[in-house]
Structure 1
Amino acid sequence: MKRPILFGSKLLSVMLSVSSFILIEGCEHTSDSTSQKNEPQHLMKPSSHETAKSAVSQNDEQTSHVADTATKGQTSSEDPLEDFNRSMFTFNELIDGLFLKPAAQIYELCVHEKVRDGVHNMLQNLGSPVVLINDILQGSPQKASETATRFVINTTFGLVGYFDPAAEILNIEYHFEDFSQTLAVWGVDSGPYLMVPFLGPSNPRDLTGRVVDWFADPFTYWFRNEGRRGLTYVRLGADYIDKRSRSFEIEKTIYSSNDPYTMMKTLYVQNRQFHINDGLVDQDSPTPDEE
C-alpha cells in the first residue's frame, strides 16, 4: 500500500517543482520585457481567466455578480463589534500591504496565467474531499457524485488536478461547499460579523466551519506524516497567494468606495450568501439606509 502513496507524493512534488521552475523563468523573461517601461502596470492587473468552462471562470463570474450587487447598495448584516472590527481591518491592511499583496503581485508578474490557473486547479482538487463530505452532510447526492467523479478524473488524468478534464471534457463543473455552508443549511445563524486578525472577514459560524473543515480534511493528516510536513506549508502559502492574486479587481471595488470597511463587509456577506444559496444572492438584504 505504500507504493501508490509514494507515487502520489513524488508526483505532487514534481508538479510543484515544475511550477517553481516556470516561476523563475517567468520572472527573468518578465523582467526583461518590463525594464523598458516606466511602471510595471501588470502588477495591479487582475488575471483575465478566459477559460469558459473552467472553475476559474465560474468563480470570476460569481465574484463579479457579488461586486455588482454590493455596489448597487446591498450591505451586510448587523455589526455590533464594529469598533473592534474596524481596528482589525486597519491591522489587516497593514499586514496585507507588507506581505501578502507584494507576494501576490510578484506571483502574478512572474508566473504565466496558465500556470497560475493550474496551481488554482490543484488547490481546488486538494479541497475536494472536504467538499464531498459537506455535499453528503447537506443531503446532496448529485453534488456528491459530481465531486467524487471530478476528484478521481482530475487526480488521475489531470495530473493531481493541475488540469481540469472533468470540466473541459465531461462538463462536470467545480462547486464549492464547506462546513459553514452546511451549518447554514441546517439552520445555524451566522452570528455577528467579525474581522479576524490575519484571516480577514468572518463570523462565528464561518470560523467554526473552518476549524471543522481543517480536521475533516484527510490531507491534513497525510501531509503531517514524516517526509511530507513541508507540503502543508506549501499548500497553505500557495492558497493564500492564489486567493490574494485573484482579488485585485475586488480590491479596486473596495477602495473606490467612500467606506472600504463597509464595502468589504458587504462583499463578504453577499459572497457567503451566494454560496449558501447555490448561486442566488439574497435580494432581501437591507440597504445601508435601512440598517
Structure 2
Amino acid sequence: MPMLVNKSPKLFAIALCFLLSACSSQPSLESTAVTPIIAVPDNPQDLGVLSAYSDPWEGFNRRMYYFNAKADEYVLLPIVTGYKQITPDVVETGLSNFFNNLAEISTFINSLLQFKLSVAGETLGRFAVNTTLGLAGLIDVATPIGLAAQDEDFGQTLGFWGVKAGPYLVLPLLGPSSLRDASGLVFDSLADQQVMDELGMKSEEELYLSLLNSIDVRARLPFRYYGSGSAFEYDYLKLLYKKYREIQVAR
C-alpha cells in the first residue's frame, strides 16, 4: 500500500507512534546486568498512570513490539545507515519535502470531512505553492511564507464523528495504533494509491517510491528501541500515543 506511512515524519509525536510500532515482551536481562533497585510490580494496576488505558491484546502487542524492535535493529537501521551515507543532505531534504507534499492531499480530504475549513484551506495553499514554486514539492516554499503544515488522517476523522478508539494495537512495522486508527489507515492508503495512479506510475515505480518513503521516514526518527533503559518503555510509549491521539481528535 503505497505511501501508507508518509505522515510519520511530520510531527515528533507521530514519530513516537512509529516507535511504538515495536512489539515486545520485556527482554531478559543479561547475566551481568545490575538488579533494578525498584522491583517491577507483578500487578499491572500498581503502575498507576501507566495502566490508565486498557490493553486487552497486551500479549500480542508486546510480542509485536519486540518483533518490530528486532526488524528495526537488523533490517531498517542498516538500510537507513547506507541510505544516509550515499545520499547528499540536499537530496534527503528534497525527498522528505516531496513526500510531505504528497501527504497534503490526504490531510486536505480529512480536513473537509471534519469541517475544518481553515485547515483545509491552508493545506490546499501549501500544496499549490509547494507543487508549483517548490518544484513538485522538492522545496518547502510554503512554511517560510507562513503556511504551516497540518496533519489530519482518517483515524482522526472517525474520532470526530464519534467513533471510539477501541483497543490499543501495535501493528507490524507500522507501529502503535488502535482498532479505529488501524481501520483509518485503510482509507488513507486508498487516497495515497489514488495519488500514485494520477501520477501515472507503474507498479514497480510505486513500490520503489513507497520503499524510499519508508526509509526517509525512519531516517528522520532519532528513537531507538530499548534506548530509554526503562523497564516500562512499552507502557510509556502507549500512554504517549493514546494521549496524543486524544488531543488530535479533540482539537
> Structures share a fold, TM > 0.5?
yes
- 1:131 paired to 2:83: no
> Quick one: distance in 2 between partners of 1:192 and 1:272?
13
Equivalent-residue separation in structure 2 for 1:272 and 1:135 (angstroms): 16
Give distance in 1, aligned partners of 2:236 and 2:213.
Answer: 24
- Normalised TM-score (structure 1): 0.64
- Where 1:232 maps in the other structure, the secondary structure is helix
Please tell me the root mean square deviation across aligned C-alpha atoms, in Å. 2.7
Alpha-carbon distance change, 276 to 107 in structure 1, aligned in 2, over 3 angstroms: farther
1:216-227 matches, cutoff 5 A: 216-217=191-192, 218-222=194-198, 225=200
Structure-2 residue corresponding to 1:232: 206
Contact 2:133–2:141 (Cα < 8 Å) also in 1: yes
Q: Deviations over 1:92-139 (max 9, x none)?
A: 222222211211222234434443222111111111111111010010
Per the alignment, in what secondary structure is the counterpart of residue 77 of structure 1?
Answer: coil
Distance of aligned partners of 1:277 and 1:101 in 2 relative to their CA distance in 1, 3 Å threshold:
farther
Aligned twin of 1:102: 78
CA distance change for structure 1 residues 114 and 77 in 2, over 3 Å: closer, same or farther? farther
Q: Unaligned stretches of 5+ in structure 2?
A: 1-8, 20-47
The match for 2:184 among 203, 209, 213 is: 209
- Identical residues among aligned pairs (%): 34
Change (3 A) 1:276 1:120: farther
Establish whether residue 266 from structure 1 lines up as the match of residue 242 from structure 2.
no
- CA shift at 1:149, angstroms? 1.0
> 1:7: which partner in 2?
none
Query: What is the rounded CA distance, in whole Å, between the counterparts of 2:210 and 2:75 in structure 1?
Result: 15
CA distance in 2, matches of 1:164, 1:194: 34
Against the structure 1 CA distance between its residues 93 and 112, is the aligned structure 2 distance closer, same or farther, given a 3 Å change threshold? Answer: same
CA contact (8 A) 1:92 1:197 kept: yes
- Tell me how far apart the structure 2 counterparts of residues 88 and 61 of structure 1 sit (CA, whole Å): 20
CA contact (8 A) 1:88 1:195 kept: yes
Does residue 209 of structure 2 align to residue 257 of structure 1? Answer: no
Out of 144, 152, 159, the residue aligned to residue 128 of structure 2 is: 152
| Residues in 2 aligned to 1:259 and 1:105: alpha-carbon distance in whole angstroms | 28
Could you report, residue by residue, the CA deviation over 1:222-278 in whole angstroms, capped at 9, with x for unpaired residues? 35x5x5323311232122112211222x33785332233223323322343343344
- Which of 196, 212, 235 is 2:171 aligned to? 196
The answer on 1:59 being equivalent to 2:11 is yes
Which residue of the partner structure matches residue 153 of structure 2? 178
Higher helix share: 1
Q: Which runs of 5+ in 1 are unaligned?
A: 1-55, 68-72, 279-291
2:50 is the counterpart of 1:77 = no
Q: Are positions 1:91 and 2:71 aligned together? A: no
In 2, Cα distance between equivalents of 1:74 and 1:118: 41
Q: State the alpha-carbon separation in 2 of the partners of residues 254 and 262 from structure 1.
A: 14
Choose from 161, 164, 179 the match for 2:137.
161
Equivalent residue pairs, number: 211
Which piece of structure 1 moves more, 133-142 or 107-116? 107-116
Deviations 1:141-192 (CA, angstroms, capped at 9, x unpaired): 1111111111111011101111111111x21011111000111111111111
